[in-house]
Structure 1
Amino acid sequence: MKKQIVTILMTSALALGITACGAGTAEDQTSGEQTSSDQTQETSDDQADAGEDETDTGAATGSSNILIAYFSVPEDVDTEGIDADAGASIVVDDGQVKGNLEYTAGVIQQTTGGDLLRIETVDQYPLDHETLVDQAADEQDQEARPGLASQIENVDQYDTILLGYPNWWGDMPMPLYTFLEENDFAGKTIIPFTVHGGSGFSDTVDTIAQLQPDAQVSSDGLSISRNDVADAADEITSWAEGLGL
C-alpha cells in the first residue's frame, strides 16, 4: 500500500522549545516516538497484543537468538481516511494502525526472523498528547524507573538485542532505563534503532553503553525521522539485511 504522511499541526506544547534537553530540537524534546508527538507514538492497538510472535509476558517462545525489543506509547487520534500521521507517530499498514516503532520493529522482524518483545509498563501512559509530554518530562526530572509489565523469558537465549525506542526530550524514555538496568546483556550485542523528530539518537547510544558496560553496543544503529517512517520499509529492510544476522 502506498503510504502518505499527513502532518497535523501540533499543539502549542510542541512549540515549547525546552532549553538544553540534550542536543535535540524542540520537537524531540517534547517528543514521543521522536518528538512530543513522538512520545505519543503508538496507537491504542499497541495497548493490546503487539503481534503473534509475542506472549503476554515477554518474548516469543521461538528458538531465535535475536530479540527485537521496542518501546512505544499510543496517542489517541482519528485515523479514518489516512495512511499515516507523522505528528501522532503512527502508520496505517494494510488497514492496521501501528506506532512508528511497532511498524519499524515489525519490518526488522520480517527481515531477521528474530523474536519480538514490546516493552510495556505496569502503569500505562496517557494517550492525551499534552499530558504524555508533561509526564515524560517529569519522569526525566525525577530519574524515574517505571515498573515493567513485560519481561524477557530467557535472556541467555539471545546473542543480539535490537533495541528500539523514541527520542523523548533528547533521551530514551525512562522505561528503557528500567529495562537496561533489570537485564544483564553482558557478552551480547545491542543494536539500537530510533524514530525521532530531528535529533536522531542524541546521546542515547552512549547511555546504553554506560548502562550495559559488558555488552557490545553498536554504533551502526538505525535512525529514522518520524516524517519518513511510512515510506521507509525498503530502508529498514536494507539496514537489517546489512547487519548480517
Structure 2
Amino acid sequence: MKVKYIAWISSLILIVGMSCTSGEQPRVGDELPSDGASKKILIVYLSRTNNTKAVAEMIQAQMGGKLVALELANPYPADYRTTVDQVAQENASGFLPPLATKIDSIDQYDLIFLGFPTWGMQLPPPIKSFLAQYNLAGKTIAPFNTNAGYGIGSTFEQVKTLASRSVVLEGFSTRGGIERDGVLFVMEGGREVKVRGEVAAWLGKLRVK
C-alpha cells in the first residue's frame, strides 16, 4: 500500500506540474496530506436524468472519494421546455441559483471531479454557483460531461475561467440521454459497459488511477 500511495502522489504532482492553467505554480508537497489519498477526492456532480450521476459513480468505483450531488434550494421544473427557458434566462442575466447542497470542510479535498451535462452549450447555472461559492484555489479539478450529442460546448473552458486559480485537467465527455426527445437514462447494458471502459481509459490517461 505504501508503494502504491507514493506512486499516486508522484503521479498527481507530475500532473499538477504539467497542467497548471493559472500561471501560478503550486507548491510541491502541498498536494496530499499523509492520511490516505482516497479521503482527499471529492466527486461533485449535477444530474437531471441520472446519466451524469452514473458516470460519477463509475469514477468513485475506480478512485474512491466522497460523492456529492448538487441540489438546488429551488429545484428546476420537471417540464423540460420550462427548464430550458429558465436556464436561458439565468445564463443571460448571470443569475446564480442558490444551492441546497452544503459541502463541509472543502479545504480537505485536493482533487475534485466535477460533473455536469451540457445545457444550452454552456455550464449549467448550478455548476457556476458551485464554482462561485467555494474557494478552490490551488486544487486540481477534473471535469466530466454528458451531453445529448452536441458536445461540450464552452463548458470545459468555462470551468477553466471560473476556477482560474485551480489546476484544470483534461476533461471527459460522453453522450447521455436526449431529454428533448424523451430519451432519458441510457447508462445501462452495453452502453454502461462501454462508458465504464472509457472512464477507466480517461483516468489512466490522467495518471491518477
TM-score, length of structure 1 as denominator length: 0.61
Which has the higher mean CA deviation after the structures are superposed, 111-120 or 130-139?
A: 130-139
Match of 2:196 in 1: 233
- CA change 1:236–1:63 in 2 (3 A) is closer
Q: Pick the structure with more helix per residue.
A: 2
- Identity, in percent, stands at 36
Distance 1:200 1:185 in 2: 26
**Number of equivalenced pairs:** 159
Per-residue Cα deviation, 1:47-67 (whole angstroms, up to 9, x for no partner): xxxxxxxxxxxxxxx961111
Q: Contact between 1:195 and 1:224, CA under 8 Å: does it hold in 2?
A: yes
Distance 1:226 1:209 in 2: 23
Bigger CA radius of gyration: 2
Which has the higher mean CA deviation after the structures are superposed, 226-235 or 159-168?
A: 226-235
Per-residue Cα deviation, 1:113-161 (whole angstroms, up to 9, x for no partner): 0110111110011111222222221221221110001122111111111
Q: Contact between 1:112 and 1:241, CA under 8 Å: does it hold in 2?
A: no
Match of 1:110 in 2: 61
CA RMSD of aligned residues (A): 1.8
Distance 1:237 1:154 in 2: 28
Match of 1:69 in 2: 44
SS in 1 for 2:39: coil
Distance 1:143 1:136 in 2: 10
Distance 2:58 2:205 in 1: 14
Q: How does 1:25-44 map to 2 (within 5 A)?
A: none
Match of 1:243 in 2: 206
Q: CA deviation at 1:111?
A: 0.5
Letter in 1 for 2:47: S
SS in 2 for 1:191: strand
2:173 paired with 1:223:
yes
SS in 2 for 1:148: coil
Q: How does 1:91-110 map to 2 (within 5 A)?
A: 99-110=50-61
Q: How does 1:116-155 map to 2 (within 5 A)?
A: 116-155=67-106
Distance 1:149 1:213 in 2: 25
Q: How does 1:143-222 map to 2 (within 5 A)?
A: 143-218=94-169, 220-222=170-172
Q: Contact between 2:38 and 2:64, CA under 8 Å: does it hold in 1?
A: no
Please, which runs of 5 or more residues in structure 1 have no aligned partner?
A: 1-61, 74-89, 91-98
Letter in 1 for 2:129: T
Which has the higher mean CA deviation after the structures are superposed, 220-229 or 110-119?
A: 220-229
Please, which runs of 5 or more residues in structure 2 have no aligned partner?
A: 1-36, 178-185
Q: How does 1:42-57 map to 2 (within 5 A)?
A: none
Distance 1:203 1:135 in 2: 19
